[in-house]
Amino acid sequence: LRKSGVQSVVLATNSFVNLANALMKSWKTDLHLLVVKHPIGGIKENEVRERADEAMEQLKKVLNPSATFFNSESNNDTKDTTHETENRTALLELDSDPFILNQYFYEKGWTDGLPIIPPTTKRVDDMLGSYLSNKDKVIGFMPTNNFPITYLKAAVNAVMAGCKPEYFPILVSAIKASLKQEFNLLGVLATTHPCATAIIVSGPIAERLGFSCKGNVFGPSSMASSTLGRALRFVYQNVGGVLPGTLDKATQGTPAKFTFCFAENEKVNPWHPYHVDRGFLSSDSTVTVYAAEAPANINDHGSRSGTDLMIGIIGAITRSGINNLYLNGDIFLALGPEHASLLERDGWDKAKIKQEIFEKARVPAEKMSYDQFVHHIGFHKENYGFSYENNDGLPIAVSPEHIHILVTGGEGKHSAWLPSFGISFSIIEKIEEI
Amino acid sequence: MIQVITPNAQGQQAENLGEVSSMKEVKHLEKIKIAYLSNGKPNVQEIFTFIDQHIFNEYPKQVVHEPFEVRFFDKKNAAKPAPPEMLEEIKDYADILITGSAD
């Protein structure tokens, strides 16, 4: 709009002004900002009026006929934390003491606070492997600042995260997948919602490289999972400038942002592997990215039949406070092997499970306030006639196809489900090993 | 000492999205059409309504008087861009757009 001559003014609260500034700088535009006290949502009418008064005082300067419509002076004193763009050397000479080096990287905003492996030229070259001759080739552009993710920068971050070179093709595929438009990476990274980019590795490569798929699958159970998930986050942070407080506006965040990567336990999966459900051969290796909340446990030790177990699963899923109720998107159900086995024994296949969840996992209006209910149904393209008075239930997905089922984990009577950011769809990509 | 490669975008150039055309200077406000684009968050419509009342009171002769509803666009979703057809509609209508980025 700015380019086509519509003069644009952005109203931001003081808590979001960093994000607005960072995006405007990245997008090379200089919209006029009106900054008001945070928040705007959830406050009473008189407070909304106060915010409007505050905005109007600033707007008068913009609308003053004698003033240039858009001036270049900054209307806030917030620190600019976007990355510099000038072409400077990408090599640094640092003290080799690991504590000093780690502290330097941390203070630069390049780590998550945990120790990193120094990205020396030798280590980065080893990480690049057969990609070395194409190291300056661009994998894609970060939507947060339009900076290119080159194979070189991806490899540097992979080294820092502790990846082995054999994991690198998976990282490349995960980057490509998360840059697909349907994934909505800008929204996923900038949202106040506590989502992380979960990486799900499927096919022969998962077992060969030892990705987590057995006991403690979502915990610290393998180097491959721990380091690969961390590497992807580093790419977003370091190439995309995604730092907490500026471009990452998560209210509380999630431990899953440190790293979130796992695989299916295909050996005990009574059904087809997940990637086969999505049209790949079982011999293919794939990576799926998904904007997930941390896993929410489903404990069911008591059920003796698949039908009874489904009651517990649906009961656990049917809760208020999740983005899926109004922003739709996908959800993932990660069945523990014992739960999956019970369901399969009693004739439940994935299609039947999805249909049952879709039909019965409806969160009744009484589980939320009237205002929250109205807020939620306002987002539905068709509001389906949902009524608060009738205690109508809101679906957790718009169709059974948006419910995804995996089998993962070890012994025990636990499963998990992973609510999502909502305005994001999982993307699966074949891993190309060169 | 140890030599390391920086992990950030140093040394890279941002993707060129094209130059932004220079803004026209509003010397004389007259028949200005103001539109609003909501990010769908609670109270956004309310604050825009109050701001619109302020503008009307302050500049009754300069702004075009049309019902607020005609000039209010709601993309319903803070985390996704407005659909292209909505942007076209705004482009065709408005001289000034007021939008928001916040909760």
Q: Which residues of B touch A40 (CB under 8 A)?
A: 41-44, 47, 100, 102-103
Q: Which residues of A touch B41 (CB under 8 A)?
A: 40-41
B21 lies within 8 A of chain A by CB: yes
Residues 6+ apart with CB under 8 A from B78: A187, B39, B40, B41, B103
- The Cα A405–Cα A216 span in angstroms is 18
**Interface mutation target, options B1, B2, B3, B4, chain A, most CBs of A under 10 Å:** B4
Tell me what pLDDT residue A328 has.
86
Lowest mean pLDDT among A29-43, A80-94, A139-153, B20-34: A80-94
Q: Across residues A116-126, what is the average pLDDT?
A: 97
Q: Determine contact, residues A338/A413, Cβ cutoff 8 Å.
A: yes
Q: Across residues A235-249, what is the average pLDDT?
A: 94
Nearest to A40 among B6, B15, B43 (CB): B43
Tell me what pLDDT residue A63 has.
73
Q: Across residues A304-323, what is the average pLDDT?
A: 97
Helix axes A121-128, A151-161, angle to 10 degrees: 110
Tell me what pLDDT residue A419 has.
96
Q: Determine contact, residues A376/A384, Cβ cutoff 8 Å.
A: no
Tell me what pLDDT residue B17 has.
57
Question: Residue A28: pLDDT band by 50, 70, 90 thresholds?
Answer: low
* Dihedral of the alpha carbons of A371, A376, A382, A385, in degrees to the nearest 10: -40
Q: Determine contact, residues A423/A325, Cβ cutoff 8 Å.
A: no
Question: Residue A101: pLDDT band by 50, 70, 90 thresholds?
Answer: very high
A59–B15 C-beta distance less than 8 A = no
Say whether pLDDT at A214 is over 60: yes
Nearest to A423 among B79, B95, B96 (CB): B79
Report percent pLDDT > 90 for chain A. 76
CA of A116: how far to CAs of A29, A111, A229, B2, in Å?
Answer: 35, 7, 14, 14
Question: Residue A141: pLDDT band by 50, 70, 90 thresholds?
Answer: very high
Higher pLDDT, A30 or A248: A248
Tell me what pLDDT residue A267 has.
96
Say whether pLDDT at A15 is over 90: no
Residues A282-303 have pLDDT tens digits of 999 999 999 999 999 999 999 9
pTM, rounded to two decimals: 0.85
Tell me what pLDDT residue B27 has.
46
- The Cα A274–Cα A280 span in angstroms is 9
Nearest to A52 by CA among A74, A31, A36, A38: A36
Q: Across residues A304-317, what is the average pLDDT?
A: 98
Tell me what pLDDT residue B39 has.
86
Say whether pLDDT at B53 is over 60: yes
Nearest to A118 among B4, B23, B59 (CB): B4
Q: Residues 59..88 of B with a Cβ closer than 8 Å to A: which?
A: 59, 62, 76-80, 87
Q: Between chain A and chain B, how many beta carbons pairs sit less than 8 Å apart?
A: 242
Smallest CA–CA distance from A32 into chain B, residue: B98
